[in-house]
Amino acid sequence: MHHHTAVPATLAGETRQHLGLSVRDTDVEVAVSASGVVLHGFPVEAAAARRAWEWWRDRHDRSGLVPFLSGHSPLALVELDRGEGPWRRGSRELLASALRPVPADVVAELKAARLREMIDIYVPPRDDADRREIAEYELLLDPEAVAAELSAAPPVTAPPPAPADGGEEPLWLVFVEAEGSYALPALLPRLISTPNWSGHPDRELLPADHVAVLRHWHERHGAEFLFADSATLHLVVARPPRSRGERAEAAVEQYVYCPDLGDPELIGNGQAGSTEWTFWWD
């Protein structure tokens, strides 16, 4: 589905035929970013949004299009992408650069930057109290130490509702040609905004980092990008970690990526073992 003139008719037609949603060809909005990234999308009622996303996600191999849900239309998303700075001007070139590093290496780099940021005031240690503080922070990011504190199995609880579930405001089902949903932060950097994340010395969480983290979780756990609304990101996870060790490792990664979630033990006994992962930065 690479001929852009045919895409609106195909999206609308297949959505009508297979999902029973009343989407006309003219409902499909088309927008092109400054760097040439093409977006297609149509409004969808919140109650039907998840089902529509799942149907199109399962056909990515055939269509080449990655679907995601947004509160913004394609034209609005393109408008948000205008301007300068690391969180604007998404492009295929930025994506190509973001895909070069090994994802696990980027995750390790972010972890090291976060740890150094947390212990910075105690380095070099002046006394035993400083050394104890450093050791406690190191244990906080040590998967083996976290695993020892986790329950034997993840709790059987319903995951928190996705922002796309049960809301009243219509959403947009947006499509971008890409090899996987982890590519989205490089093509549209304003989808995720993380102003309060910081690592040592002046490390920020950049679009390429989001690509690496999401790709790491996609390859390891089958995580897919469902919804983003600037400060909130929601992933659907096909193969969540189940054992203590796996949940601890994922919990540390999630804590490094989004400290607002709470400490790794809380994450490891909670969403790390779930099929829905939500992150927020505010």
Structure confidence at residue 159 (pLDDT): 58
Instruction: Give me the sheet containing 65-70, strands edge to edge.
Output: 29-32, 38-44, 171-177, 65-70, 223-228, 232-237, 276-280
The answer to whether the beta carbons of residues 230 and 190 sit under 8 Å apart is yes
The pLDDT of residue 188 is above 80: yes
CA 268 and chain centroid, separation: 18
- The pTM of this model reads 0.92
pLDDT tier, 161 (very low <50, low <70, confident <90, very high otherwise)? low
In the chain, which ranges are continuous DSSP H helix? 7-19, 46-57, 60-63, 74-80, 92-98, 103-119, 128-140, 143-147, 184-187, 207-221, 244-257, 264-268
The pLDDT of residue 3 is above 90: no
Question: Could you read off the pLDDT of 196-223 as tens digits, one per residue?
Answer: 898 988 899 999 999 999 999 999 999 9
Sketch the domain layout of the chain as residue ranges: 7-101+151-280
Q: Exposure of 75 by Cβ count < 10 A (0-12 exposed, 13-18 middle, 19+ buried)?
A: middle
Question: Could you read off the pLDDT of 90-107 as tens digits, one per residue?
Answer: 999 999 999 999 999 999
The stretch 214-235 carries a mean pLDDT of 96
**Average pLDDT of the chain, as a whole number:** 92
Structure confidence at residue 154 (pLDDT): 74
